[in-house]
């Protein structure tokens, strides 16, 4: 249990890329800075990845499987946190709270009964670590009519705004999302579509590798414009914000349906998928004439993708978020540490203009370690 005055927050993130559990300990200073204290990553176990993919693609699983996955993820998160505490010589009393996003297994923000499901039992995290844990951030926003995503723009607005020019913060994980922070207009943002997800899945299918390192395979092929046009004609890209999406929609089943009309080599498809990610991100940013784009998430390390994004946005200066003092690998985990702080302090964490919620609200549920 944290002691009064504890000012360290821990953020835990495992995203739609299904690669790592990222854990980051930070301090949010009174001067409005983020002091990074420690970080740790554990790979997501393969059996968890397999089950999550089955769930997200609508394959039936038993209630037992669902319950065991929830428990297993909770144990994995707790273990990663405890490893970080040990490596950084931190005690639970030093930590005000953990903010754990959980693993999204299904996101359905529309329909008669909209819902989103993140697993990873926060009771386990609180019990194993001895730290107050905040989790289940998205469903309160949905209770007020929002999409439940993206939730990071409020944090981006607090720590990445530039009073002199438009700033776009782009997270390229499995899904890509953008926060548009402009001096002369309200904050807005949304999920732009696939980030690394389709490229990773295509690489796994054809090369049995987790991802296309540096986009080298994509760079070896040539994009096929008719396929890119077909992919971009999907209704999601033209849909007005607020909007959010996930692995349930953009997956290999979706891609295979688009490919039925073509006969292309695998490297052509990979090059076109990379162009899809770059162009769909650019669609969100291009309406503004110029400014700065800061990229975080795994896609920030894909040099071919970063080059394609720069070509799509020639008037914008593009760099990793490290340039503004926030590691591109840690941005999302830090965002959920900040959201935990907001909740502990009874402050709102969502932006209604972004998610479509009817009001700003305090997000998440608090799980005590006692």
Shared domain check, 319 and 282: yes
| Same-domain status, 239 and 272 | yes
> Do 181 and 258 share a domain, yes or no?
yes
- Give the residue numbers spanning the domain of 62: 8-148+330-367
Is residue 1 situated within a structural domain? no
Encode pLDDT of 258-296 as tens digits.
Answer: 999 999 999 999 999 999 999 999 999 999 999 999 999
Residues 101 and 161 in one domain: no
Using the CB atoms, write b or e for 308-326: b if 16+ within 10 Å.
Answer: bbbebbeebebebbbeeeb
Mean pLDDT confidence for 38-42: 98
Residue 3 inside a domain? The answer is no
Q: Which helix (H) or strand (E) holds 99?
A: strand 95-100
Rounded to an integer, the average pLDDT of 36-51 is 96
- Both 137 and 228 in one domain: the answer is no
Number of domains in the chain: 2
Q: Compute and round to an integer the Cα radius of gyration of the chain.
A: 20
> Which pLDDT score, from 0 to 100, does residue 3 have?
57
pLDDT at 2: 55
Asked whether residue 359 is domain-assigned, the answer is: yes
| CB 369, CB 125: distance < 8 Å | no
Per residue in 294-316, pLDDT (tens digit) is 999 999 999 999 999 999 999 99
Q: 126: pLDDT confidence band, cut at 50, 70 and 90? A: very high
Residue 166 and residue 181 in contact, taking contact as beta carbons nearer than 8 Å: yes
pLDDT reported for residue 17: 87
If you average pLDDT over every residue of the chain, what do you get?
Answer: 96
CATH code, 251? 3.30.420.40
Total length of the chain: 370
Residue 239 lies in a domain: yes
Supply the pTM of this predicted model. Answer: 0.95
Partner residues linked to 133 by β-bridges: 98, 367
- pLDDT of the residue at 241: 96
Contact assessment for residue 1 and residue 95, using Cβ atoms and an 8 Å cutoff:
no
User: Based on the domain organization, do 353 and 320 belong to the same domain?
Assistant: no
pLDDT tens, residue by residue, 181-233: 999 999 999 999 999 999 999 999 999 999 999 999 999 999 999 999 999 99
pLDDT band at 31 (very low <50, low <70, confident <90, very high): confident
Q: Is residue 174 part of a domain?
A: yes
């Amino acid at each position: 249990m944290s002691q009064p005055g504890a000012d360290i927050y821990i953020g835990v993130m495992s995203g739609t890329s299904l690669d790592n559990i990222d854990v980051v300990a930070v301090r949010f200073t009174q001067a409005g800075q983020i002091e990074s204290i420690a970080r740790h990553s554990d790979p997501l176990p393969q059996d968890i990845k397999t089950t999550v993919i089955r769930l997200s693609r609508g394959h039936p699983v038993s209630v037992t499987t669902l319950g065991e996955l929830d428990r297993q993820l909770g144990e994995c998160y707790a273990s990663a946190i405890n490893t970080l505490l040990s490596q950084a010589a931190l005690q639970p009393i030093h930590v005000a709270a953990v903010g754990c996003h959980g693993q999204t297994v299904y996101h359905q923000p529309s329909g008669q009964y909209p819902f989103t499901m993140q697993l990873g039992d926060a009771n386990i995290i609180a019990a194993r670590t001895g730290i107050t844990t905040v989790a289940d951030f998205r469903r309160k926003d949905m209770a007020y009519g929002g999409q439940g995503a993206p939730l990071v723009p409020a944090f981006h607005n607090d720590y990445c705004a530039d009073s002199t020019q438009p700033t776009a913060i782009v997270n390229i994980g499995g899904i890509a999302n953008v926060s548009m922070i402009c001096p002369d207009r309200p904050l807005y943002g949304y999920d732009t579509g696939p980030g690394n997800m389709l490229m990773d899945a295509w690489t796994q299918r054809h090369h049995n590798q987790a991802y296309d390192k540096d986009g080298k395979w994509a760079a070896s092929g040539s994009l096929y414009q008719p396929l890119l046009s077909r992919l971009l004609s999907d209704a999601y890209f033209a849909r007005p914000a607020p909007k959010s999406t996930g692995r349930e929609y953009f997956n290999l089943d979706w891609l295979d349906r688009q490919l039925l009309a073509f006969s292309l080599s695998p490297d052509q498809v990979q090059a076109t998928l990379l162009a899809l990610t770059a162009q769909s991100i650019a669609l969100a940013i291009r309406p503004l004439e110029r400014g700065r784009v800061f990229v975080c998430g795994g896609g920030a390390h894909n040099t071919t993708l970063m080059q394609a994004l720069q070509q799509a946005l020639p008037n914008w200066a593009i760099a990793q978020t490290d340039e503004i003092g926030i590691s591109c690998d840690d941005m999302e985990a830090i965002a959920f540490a900040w959201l935990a702080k907001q909740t502990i302090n009874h402050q709102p964490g969502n932006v209604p203009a972004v998610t479509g919620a009817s009001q700003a609200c305090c997000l998440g549920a608090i799980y005590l370690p006692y």
